[in-house]
Amino acid sequence: MAEKQTLVDELGQTVAQVWADVLDLDQVWPGDGFFELGGHSLTALRVVYRLRDKLSVDLSLRDLMEARTLAEFTETVRTAQSGAPARPVVALVGRRGTR
């Protein structure tokens, strides 16, 4: 059985702690997937908003949904911290697809 690796930098530990808190888990690992751990769209929103508050980083729900693992999502957060624009958390769409 392969040994599980931990996230060694501060950002990785912060993201992991938010996942663990939101999912009510003792610990999460870099290779863990959010939805495989029991996450769903509402808990995903909680993660996005907690990280926005904690790190002042612009993240979208899609950012979390597209990341396969905690390590991948941490890299997305790292990129967002560098100032790269994020997609909106929710896009409001009117009639016939107009915004």
Rounded Cα distance, 63 and 74, in Å: 10
Percent of the chain with pLDDT over 90: 73
**pLDDT tens, residue by residue, 37-72:** 999 999 999 999 999 999 999 999 999 999 999 999
pLDDT above 80 for 24: yes
* Radius of gyration in angstroms for the set of CA atoms belonging to the chain, rounded to a whole number: 14
Residue 74 contacts residue 11 (beta carbons within 8 Å): yes
The torsion angle over the Cα atoms of residues 62, 60, 42 and 11, rounded to 10 degrees, is 110
Distance of CA 38 to the CA centre of its chain: 14
Residue type, 76: T
* All structural domains of the chain: 10-97 (1.10.1200.10)
* Residue 30 CA from chain centroid, whole number: 12
* DSSP assigned state of 65: H
pTM: 0.77
pLDDT of res. 83: 79
